[in-house]
Structure 1
């Protein structure tokens, strides 16, 4: 079973060297651009380092000696250095943003691709909002780190090294006095980073909770449920509480260590005054410690050193905080994919459509098997209906054919080939599933139909819609096939949505069809209309129909009754009625429900 991914795996792994190496590997495809950025940073830092020495020469030589020629050239050089530094910073930022956004794109695609290959079981265990939060909030949360922080770390480090070198060249005694305080500042930054990392992990968990709540309550189904049960105000109060907790965590995260950083800023603001004070005392005692030009140049470098040093400490804090987000992102990328395609998969040529269950067993949890020793054969072009009480394993049996789950015992074969040996493309071309829950995108009717066959012509769409008994309704709409179906198709009735799903499957044209209680949630009249479309779809195909209402499967070539995950009875409708066993009991119950006019809620068997 897949591990629980709703919680981060821990701060320890977040700061491990392996984690940092993994982040660094994200940039390997763009090492050429990174090399160019490093070159620009080096050149820009060199220009920045030259500027104080130009200032020193202006104050100590050009002005005292009234050397206008030298003053002119030093001023021009200062202008060139300033412009070159500014241009270099723009180029560096441009390249860093390009590389950063490419890395962000790669991360999003990698997570989405990983999730798309997860089995159905993963999504039944995971909140939709949690998945969205990982893709949107977690990856979005590392945007500034990936785009700016990495480039800033390199640029600020280079600038800081150049500034320290310049300070040492100007006066090593003053330089040592200033640099002695740096270890204290680094320690402060690291402690703040640890604090923010823990807060960031809690913040992302809370953000996922808020995202999930919005996803669940603001969908059409959620709004409908809330309004009909009068739970709207309660949902608002619940959201208010979740949002308040998120706001508190955001404030705590942003303010963590602010006072400590403020103390560093104050200290750096005082240091130039201390340098001037020390130089003034030396001059008053008759010992000129440094020249005026050197003193001004030194304090200029010192002030310039403050910016990259503070930026480095802030970047370090941000990088440590982002480790919690990277842990969550890598947690998804490391999810075990339990349904995979073989290295050399098989394909089916001309499909006959024989489906065979050979002593099949399946369990969602090892201690509680869902299916046991299922031994069935569906001949090509015939139909098999599967009935049974809720929880007997009906839906699971059908999903094993489409390989939405893998068997834990035995084999499921199509034309003698184990479905686990088939390529995904061959399997999806062979097996089509019409579920009781029809999913339509917020797009046009034509776009929803073309999801099954992107290159389908308008004529093919109309042919498929006619086969599904839905063309006349679509044609009556103001915009016809260009009508937007609305969120999850709520502009259409249940029967209309089911017929759109059937039309989609007609376009797909699979030789093997699994009908998963496709009419269980419909009223009797609509059920008859949809059933007629399903009968047309199933004609000439191998069909496995998971049935809730037995009136829809009387004409099946064989009917299988599941009880407790085992085959309890098997035969035609007439044979099973004559047997007077479980099928007859289910049939009697179904007749009572039909007479009473009840329509049960669809529940996967």
Structure 2
């Protein structure tokens, strides 16, 4: 588990996550549909039967017209009334069964989509998520999943019902007289022209709307996460203006979609008018030639009136279907990208990342790193970390300490050079094995919602309660956990008991103990403890790191002084390496920093 718990690295790119093309998206959907093929066949049968029963009433009404026209018996009308009642009840029962079965089928598909999307999001390399901007992934996991949920949960079943009704109704028209099918020849160009116009413009429009929504989410999330900075530098007005611009961009794309939908609606109304006129003309000719009765023509007109709702629904649902398809393409893009990342990172070597005897656990060889071509933040870094050795990294803000930590953790890949773990290139190690071998804890710790025990078991799913307590006691968290209302079964996180920053850090350190990685990286993990808790949290960190290699981005020099070696970084380069005593006696940058820090402590 590269147990990263916070945003250690700045977002520096706007290279958005992939969007799957139509072929790939439909291929993914086809795989999901094939898993439900037999329930779908049953659903098709039920829908066909329900639509067929729906034709009984118009046909019976047509016969009643003929009976009235010919002065027939009243008893025949009562018989037809009974048939209409029975068919209406039967159609309602079958429709209910169809709704229930379709809900089961499509909710199953939807549940699998949500699970796959979540799994893919968690498989994406953190560096890739940060490069795209967290708003992009969040928008896909929320807005896009919601849009697809609506499409799969309501649009697709409604579309299927309408399609079956249309097909069966035209079969009914053909059974009355094949010449009524001429209405298809007349209305199809109107409807096809409307759909073609809509399909031509809608995909790009809806994709742009989803992208604008993601961009807005990106800026909203960035503003919320940096709220303290926003207040400190009085950036509220500037950021509000930026968010307002992106919000209006979403509104503009939405309004364009509404205009396009209204144009489609106009073509639907035109098709209905043309179709009714055609039915009346055909009926007039057939009745005049004694080919059909007035009742049969009445039934034909009622059949066509029955088509208003399903045809209009199909045409208008193209709107939601296009939006759903655009959202699904963004979701499948995440799944495809996560699969590609997994393929790259699970390459050749899957042996445990154990060092050979006497070799360093971690070797950093001539590593350089750039967030962008013109912004190189690490320059030709070389460093070895022996098994069990603790190295502290110190330097001014912006020196490249956090970037070095994330590269050693495998989050970022070097632009140049190599990082070896146990003698193997870190980029060739299976991601699951790498997650078990290295752990990163940052300054910003995330406490997962749920019981404290379930939070700890993220690192060790099979750990029993005794092992959890042992890890907590090792990092000195046992006393305050025992004081919680339900001990390790206390619910923590957003919906539960609030933990202090120091308690959250101790929880993260306990996860390291449970995971038991060979290499641990602490990126200013004790910075939020405050002066009072600094000593306690540093002692907790020492206990968690005992017996394993560690790279510690030190917030306090007292923590650096206890490390086996200290690396002093400046402007992306290592300028001094040595033990605390060596660097102090050298009188270089670290020595001056130590003396200034010591004087400050004495005076305070």
* Equivalent pair of 1:30/1:99 in contact (CA under 8 Å): yes
Query: CA offsets per residue over residues 341-382 of structure 1, 9 Å max, x none?
Result: 235611257998941315242423455554455443333323
Question: Are residues 1:185 and 2:187 paired?
Answer: no
Map 1:203-242 → 2, pairs under 5 A: 203-212=209-218, 215-216=221-222, 222=227
Partner of 1:603: none
* Equivalent pair of 2:18/2:334 in contact (CA under 8 Å): no
User: Counterpart of 1:182 in 2: which secondary structure?
Assistant: helix
How far off its partner does 1:276 sit?
5.4
How far off its partner does 1:180 sit?
0.9
1:421–1:172 distance in 2 versus 1, CA, 3 Å: closer
Partner of 2:6: none
Question: Are residues 1:27 and 2:33 paired?
Answer: yes
* Equivalent pair of 1:363/1:370 in contact (CA under 8 Å): yes
Question: Are residues 1:571 and 2:578 paired?
Answer: yes
Question: Are residues 1:384 and 2:391 paired?
Answer: yes
How far off its partner does 1:388 sit?
3.3
Q: Distance in 2 between matches of 1:282 and 1:29?
A: 48
Partner of 2:329: 327
Partner of 1:92: 98
Q: Distance in 2 between matches of 1:238 and 1:154?
A: 43
* Equivalent pair of 1:434/1:515 in contact (CA under 8 Å): yes
Partner of 1:257: 261
Q: Distance in 1 between matches of 2:482 and 2:12?
A: 46
Partner of 1:549: 556
Query: CA offsets per residue over residues 509-557 of structure 1, 9 Å max, x none?
Result: 3343222222344444422222222222233322222224333222332
Q: Distance in 2 between matches of 1:30 and 1:510?
A: 42
Map 1:5-404 → 2, pairs under 5 A: 6=16, 16=22, 19-49=25-55, 52-60=58-66, 64=70, 66=72, 74-173=80-179, 175-176=181-182, 179-212=185-218, 215-216=221-222, 222=227, 246=250, 249-250=253-254, 253-254=257-258, 256-258=260-262, 261-262=265-266, 264-265=268-269, 268=272, 272=276, 290-335=292-337, 336-337=340-341, 340-342=345-347, 345-348=350-353, 354-357=360-363, 359-364=365-370, 365=372, 368-404=375-411
* Equivalent pair of 2:367/2:379 in contact (CA under 8 Å): yes
Q: Distance in 1 between matches of 2:600 and 2:99?
A: 70
Q: Distance in 1 between matches of 2:308 and 2:506?
A: 68
Which stretch of structure 1 is more off in the superposition, 111-120 or 385-394? 385-394
User: Counterpart of 1:562 in 2: which secondary structure?
Assistant: strand
> Aligned residue pairs: how many?
589
* Equivalent pair of 1:359/1:372 in contact (CA under 8 Å): no
1:226–1:369 distance in 2 versus 1, CA, 3 Å: closer
Question: Are residues 1:526 and 2:526 paired?
Answer: no
TM-score by length of 2: 0.82
Question: Are residues 1:470 and 2:477 paired?
Answer: yes
Q: Distance in 1 between matches of 2:331 and 2:274?
A: 43
CA-based RMSD:
4.1
Question: Are residues 1:561 and 2:568 paired?
Answer: yes
TM-score by length of 1: 0.82
* Equivalent pair of 1:341/1:422 in contact (CA under 8 Å): yes
Q: Distance in 1 between matches of 2:475 and 2:356?
A: 23
* Equivalent pair of 2:186/2:275 in contact (CA under 8 Å): no
Q: Distance in 2 between matches of 1:163 and 1:62?
A: 25
Query: CA offsets per residue over residues 48-100 of structure 1, 9 Å max, x none?
Result: 45655444445446984746776666555444443333333333333332222
Q: Distance in 2 between matches of 1:561 and 1:202?
A: 47
Q: Which has the higher contact order (CA 8 A, sep 6+)?
A: 2
Query: CA offsets per residue over residues 143-199 of structure 1, 9 Å max, x none?
Result: 233234444444433432332333344345555257513311331233245454454
Q: Distance in 2 between matches of 1:546 and 1:228?
A: 26
- Where do 5+ consecutive residues of structure 2 fail to align? 1-10
How far off its partner does 1:141 sit?
0.8
- Where do 5+ consecutive residues of structure 1 fail to align? 598-605
* Equivalent pair of 1:442/1:487 in contact (CA under 8 Å): yes
Query: CA offsets per residue over residues 311-340 of structure 1, 9 Å max, x none?
Result: 221233332343332332233233352861
How far off its partner does 1:303 sit?
0.8
Q: Distance in 2 between matches of 1:469 and 1:510?
A: 20
Q: Distance in 1 between matches of 2:282 and 2:386?
A: 98
User: Counterpart of 1:386 in 2: which secondary structure?
Assistant: strand
Q: Distance in 1 between matches of 2:489 and 2:79?
A: 71
User: Counterpart of 1:142 in 2: which secondary structure?
Assistant: helix
